[in-house]
């Protein structure tokens, strides 16, 4: 499975740093939804789903967390801990997020609005569909 980490250019000076996110530039899709996860309790694992069509990019704004990505044949683990790097998550990729640091703020950009019918929440069903 190809894991794609997209570098996000940092602009900064003595005042601090800035990262700009632009559709179809450093974000390879039109952004239709943005949400973020924070204050995740110690030991909590989130995700446990895949999407039929949705494409997303995950960016850790602060702290760190681990992603487990699974395409039905291979599972890979990656730690996100750099706000100048985005993890591209294509459709039909099972994802789990865990090991959130207490200060973790995880932002997700998506190419479409929330649609429950796009979710695959059963891992066995996902494996069958991913073949």
Task: Set out the domains of the chain in order of their start, with CATH numbers.
Answer: 4-130 (2.60.120.10)
Residue 2 pLDDT: 83
Residue in 6, 19, 21, 49 annotated catalytic: 49
21 alpha carbon, distance to own chain's centre: 15
User: Would you list the DSSP string of 103-116?
Assistant: T-EEEEEESS---G
Residues of the chain with pLDDT under 70: none
- State how far the Cα of 27 lies from the Cα of 6, in Å rounded to an integer: 8
The reported pLDDT for the residue numbered 1 is 79
Give the model's pLDDT for residue 73: 93
| pLDDT tens, residue by residue, 71-85 | 999 999 999 999 999
Partners of residue 66 on adjacent β-strands? 79, 98
Q: Decide if 49 is catalytic.
A: yes
Region of 20 on the Ramachandran plot (φ > 0 left; ψ -120 to 50 alpha; else beta): beta
């Amino acid at each position: 499975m190809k894991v794609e980490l997209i570098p996000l250019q940092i602009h900064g000076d003595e005042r601090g740093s800035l990262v700009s996110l632009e559709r179809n530039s450093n974000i390879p899709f039109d952004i239709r939804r943005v949400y973020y996860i924070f204050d995740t309790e110690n030991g909590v694992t989130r995700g446990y789903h895949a999407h039929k069509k949705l494409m997303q990019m995950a960016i850790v704004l602060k702290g760190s967390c681990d992603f487990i990505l699974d395409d039905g044949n291979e599972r890979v683990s990656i730690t996100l801990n750099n706000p100048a790097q985005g993890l591209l998550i294509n459709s039909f990729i099972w994802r789990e997020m865990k090991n959130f640091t207490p200060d973790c703020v995880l932002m997700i950009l998506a190419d479409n609005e929330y649609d429950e019918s796009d979710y695959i929440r059963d891992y066995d069903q996902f494996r069958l569909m991913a073949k």
